[in-house]
């Protein structure tokens, strides 16, 4: 409970969902929060929530797809709290379209820039400060970073890239005292799919599925993530079914393909 007391934690994608919930819990444990997202109004709301929970917080409007904005985010964090102990790369956008339906190919650029390059930019600029405090890098990935998923091709590609980057970085950081934790949630009851990019490259605005039905709740996801952070675990695959699927992928990959296809079909009914 006291592992995060006085620690400075930068969270991207902090204006809603997993990022907001994680920030609020960390604030209650005495952490200093640096909250990053594009929506300044939403960030101010989360900042107030963190302060009400007993933490200190600053809101830094940031588009993680802009490398310079990520540099300024890190600079602001150091100015506010003197350094960085934990960087949580949580910002992300998904998609909901088959490849052969896509009419605006720029959606693939956007997915890669936000989900993958945003994490690269923030991590690169934060590394000197994380090394100084023997800190922790957290990558909020997805089960789609482990296996392909229909209608999510660009999202899966960006999360696969994220995995490759952070697995490589972990090796490079051996001996520095900085650890890398990758967390892989499955379907979580957030509004990320309301803003999924459709075939025209625009947000769909309303998920086709009731996100409260059959999904992991945000609080459970955050609790698992916090435990992984405190233990500085290498990687966490959040559900038993997903862990079994990872084994099946090695011995019967076609079965995993069918499971993934059925999961998406069931969600679109």
> Residue length, the chain?
269
Q: Is the pLDDT of residue 211 over 50?
A: no
Provide the mean pLDDT of the chain. 88
CB 77 within 8 A of CB 10: yes
The domain segmentation of the chain, as residue ranges, is 8-240
DSSP 182: E
> pLDDT confidence of 196, banded at 50, 70, 90?
confident
Question: In this predicted model, which residue has the larger pLDDT, 147 or 16?
Answer: 16
Average pLDDT score over residue span 36-41: 96
Contact 162, 137 (CB under 8 A): no
pLDDT of amino acid 225: 95
Average pLDDT (33-47) is 97
What percentage of the chain has pLDDT greater than the value 70?
Answer: 81
Token pair, residue 266, equals 């069931």
Least confident of 15-29, 45-59, 184-198: 184-198
Which has more pLDDT, 159 or 201? 159
CATH class of the 8-240 domain in this structure: alpha beta
| Percentage of the chain lying above the pLDDT 90 cut | 69
Average pLDDT rounded to a whole number, residues 112-123: 98
Q: How far apart are CA 4 and CA 156, in angstroms?
A: 31
| pLDDT interval class at 63 (50, 70, 90) | very high
* 174, pLDDT greater than 70: yes
**In terms of pTM, does the model score above 0.85?**
yes
Query: 10 Å Cβ neighbour count for 268?
Result: 9
CA distances from 142 to 88, 94, 187 (A): 14, 11, 9
pLDDT digits (tens, 9 = 90+) for 139-171: 999 988 888 888 999 999 999 999 999 999 999
Question: Is the pLDDT confidence value at 8 over 50?
Answer: yes
- 63-67, 78-82, 94-98, 148-152, range with the lowest pLDDT: 148-152
pLDDT at 243: 63
- Active site residues per annotation: 155
Q: How far apart are CA 79 and CA 119, in angstroms?
A: 21
Least confident of 45-59, 115-129, 182-196, 206-220: 206-220
By CB atoms closer than 10 A (0-12, 13-18, 19+), residue 232 is: middle
User: Which tens digits make up the pLDDT trace of 216-268?
Assistant: 888 999 999 999 999 999 999 887 665 665 655 566 667 656 766 666 665 55
Distance, in Å, from the CA atom of 71 to the CA atom of 7, rounded to the nearest integer, reads: 20
Strands in the chain per DSSP E: 8-12, 32-37, 56-61, 86-89, 136-140, 179-184, 235-237
**Average of per-residue pLDDT across 84-93:** 97
């Amino acid at each position: 409970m006291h592992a995060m007391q006085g620690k400075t934690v930068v969270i991207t994608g902090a204006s809603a969902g997993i990022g907001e919930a994680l920030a609020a819990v960390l604030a209650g444990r005495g952490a200093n929060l640096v909250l990053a997202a594009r929506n300044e109004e939403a960030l101010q709301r989360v900042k107030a929530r963190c302060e009400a929970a007993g933490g200190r917080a600053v809101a830094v409007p940031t588009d993680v797809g802009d490398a310079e904005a990520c540099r300024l985010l890190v600079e602001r964090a150091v100015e506010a709290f003197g350094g960085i102990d934990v960087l949580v790369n949580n910002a992300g956008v998904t998609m909901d379209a088959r490849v052969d339906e896509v009419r605006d190919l720029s959606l693939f650029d956007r997915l890669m820039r936000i989900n993958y390059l945003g994490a690269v930019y923030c991590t690169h600029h934060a590394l000197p400060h994380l090394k100084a405090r023997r800190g922790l890098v957290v990558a909020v990935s997805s089960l789609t970073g482990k296996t392909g998923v229909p209608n999510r091709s660009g999202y899966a590609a960006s999360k696969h890239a994220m995995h490759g980057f952070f697995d490589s970085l972990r090796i490079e950081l051996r001996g520095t005292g900085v650890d890398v934790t990758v967390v892989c949630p499955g379907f979580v009851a957030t509004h990320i799919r309301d803003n999924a990019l459709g075939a025209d490259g625009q947000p769909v605005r309303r998920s086709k599925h009731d996100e409260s039905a059959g999904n992991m709740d945000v609080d459970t996801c955050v609790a698992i993530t916090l435990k992984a952070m405190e233990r500085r675990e290498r990687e966490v695959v959040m559900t038993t079914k997903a862990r079994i699927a990872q084994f099946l992928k090695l011995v019967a990959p076609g079965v995993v393909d069918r499971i993934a296809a059925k999961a998406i079909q069931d969600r679109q009914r």
